[in-house]
Structure 1
């Protein structure tokens, strides 16, 4: 049985759709469809039931999923261990990160290229979970309360958040409570975020006038005067169109840089991780809401997201 076929099967099973599997594998929807059909033909089995809700595993598919996941775990662990023995300061390091940090990371990577021209980088920015355990990335920069114990790294800073409104189009009359203003917040797909939970707990649903799954869109809506929003301070403090109305420091979110223990001694991973950690540590005043004007990170302009472990 071909490992590429098993990888394809696992991607479809986890995503529940051809489109999601294609994104995870970096191939077209039509390619996933063709290869999945070919794999089922080779096996003489139907692995998925196709329906309006996506691809659901058949009994044969569920049996194969259990075995394929075990094979994947063994192969990925072997790949990580072998990668960890590579002592050269050359090769590619894959980073999963937040879109909002792109300006800072680009600046840090430019300096890193001068120091280590033999190391190349690949950057993944996505809403989808990126697994270090499955070696989908070598380094993850993520916002988290508590990273998994299976990962190692360091906490860069505890993030401070704030309630922001438009400076020139204030939706909140002087002296009014925050709950009386219109608000923008995250859509249901990101309702698990602490920012979204704070809004749900403190702002009546009748005051929510816009929902979206994209942080950059939320900031643009607040800037336009549609309503108030809750954001990490490093995204908004230097924006002259926005004003911080309240500071919230108890959301329990930290910025971490993480890797898998099998890669901790891989020279190219270690030197890049140390370099990025130092570059981000220099931004602590911004991350903690004490930033000089003009030094904010930029809100996501693409599909920014949350790398995970």
Structure 2
């Protein structure tokens, strides 16, 4: 089989459409369709079924995917061997998916440091409040808030992080007393839009007895800015609080949550020395940055008390 046709096959399998694959490959959809037809003719099997929803893999196509990905990984390994060994700087483009809290408050500092050390590297941070599909190559690596239980993936725990209730002093001064968690239902709560919580680890308010959030967003940064505007009380990341110094923690002894970040990679990339080096630097940087920001947040709380 021709590698270039396999490359087109993988793009269609991941995008589930000729137009989506064409955008990734800089080819027009008609050309992509002809290349798929050529591959199917050479293989003597139908690899895709076309439907109103797009192109779905047939059983034969699904069996071809891991072999095509192995060829892709081998080609990437050959390119890495030619362009430089372990002592060379990282180069090329890497796309990293992350939840928006991590993307907004942790990754800018971490990625800046990595790119300072590797001037030839281009990093794209895709900040979306949802789970990334690495099989479709939406990203080369992804950071998640829970460990995936399915898929051909390699998973590494990065670090724990902490969250507490927070609010603006002006809101607390005008609102009813908030001395225990039992007082929370009397308050205006800021949180996630319930039907847009993409991971159970983000369902912070269930079990607290609070009403549905009066002001809600699927974005961590929007929620934090609502708290900064005095909109109410809500759960905030400790690592984000240094970016909102006007906020104060509320009932920290009564409610202290711990969650974790996980680094997720496609199983087929396990032998990529380039991605392994990037992942190593990323993991170290995220651990350091979470520790630094949380220590800064804790120091600010200590000064206020």
1:227 maps to 2:232: yes
Q: SS at the partner of 2:226?
A: helix
Summarize the alignment of residues 91-130 of structure 1 with structure 2, pairs less than 5 Å apart. 91-100=92-101, 101-102=103-104, 104-130=106-132
From the superposition, tell whether residues 268 and 225 of structure 1 become closer, same or farther in structure 2 (CA, over 3 Å). Answer: same
Alignment of 1:158-173 (within 5 A): 158-170=160-172, 172-173=175-176
Q: CA RMSD in A?
A: 4.1
**Is the CA contact 2:100–2:129 (under 8 Å) kept in the aligned structure 1?**
no
The answer for the alignment partner of 1:139 in structure 2 is: 141
- TM (norm. structure 2) is 0.67
Q: CA deviation at 1:35?
A: 4.3
Structure 2 Cα separation of the partners of residues 131 and 76 of structure 1: 15
| Contact 1:73-1:134 at 8 Å conserved across structures | no
Structure 2: gaps of 5 or more residues: 38-47, 301-305
Counterpart CA distance in 2 for 1:259 and 1:152 is 5
Residue number in structure 1 paired with 2:218: 213
Query: Relative contact order, CA 8 A, sep 6+: which one is greater?
Result: 1
Tell me: CA distance 1:139–1:157, structure 2 relative to 1, closer, same or farther (3 Å): same
Q: Separation in 2 of the partners of 1:254 and 1:167?
A: 29
Instruction: String of CA shifts for 1:251-303, please: whole Å, max 9, x gaps.
Output: 5x211234345434533223222222222221233565763668xxxxxxxxx
What's the TM-score, normalizing by structure 1? Answer: 0.66
Kindly indicate whether the alpha-carbon contact (under 8 Å) linking 2:49 and 2:58 is maintained by their aligned counterparts in 1.
no
Deviations 1:73-119 (CA, angstroms, capped at 9, x unpaired): 43233212432453334433332223333464333333333433333
Residue 82 (structure 1) aligned to one of 60, 66, 75: 75
Relative to structure 1, the CA distance from residue 46 to residue 242 in structure 2 (aligned partners, 3 Å threshold; closer, same or farther) is same
Q: CA deviation at 1:144?
A: 1.9
**Partners of 2:187 and 2:200 in 1: CA distance:** 20
User: Residue 186 in 1 paired to residue 192 in 2?
Assistant: yes
1:175/1:272 Cα in 2 relative to 1: closer, same or farther (>3 Å)?
Answer: closer
Residue equivalent to 2:246: 241
Q: Which residue of 2 aligns with 1:299?
A: none
- Give CA-to-partner distance per residue, 1:228-267, whole Å, 9 cap, x none: 211222122551221111344445x211234345434533
Distance 1:221 1:154 in 2: 33
Is the 2:22–2:29 Cα contact (8 Å) retained in structure 1?
Answer: no
- Asked whether the equivalents of residues 157 and 256 of structure 1 are also in contact (C-alpha less than 8 Å), the reply is yes
Match of 2:290 among 279, 284, 291: 284
Structure number with higher helix proportion: 2
Q: Unpaired runs of 5+ in structure 1?
A: 50-54, 295-309
Are the counterparts in 2 of residues 93 and 268 from structure 1 also a CA contact under 8 Å?
no
Distance 1:249 1:192 in 2: 21
Q: CA offset at residue 6 of structure 1?
A: 7.6
Partner of 1:254: 260
What is residue 15 of structure 2 aligned with on the other side?
11
Q: Is the 8 A contact 1:160 1:232 kept in 2?
A: yes
Q: How many residues align?
A: 268
Secondary structure of 1:160's counterpart equals strand
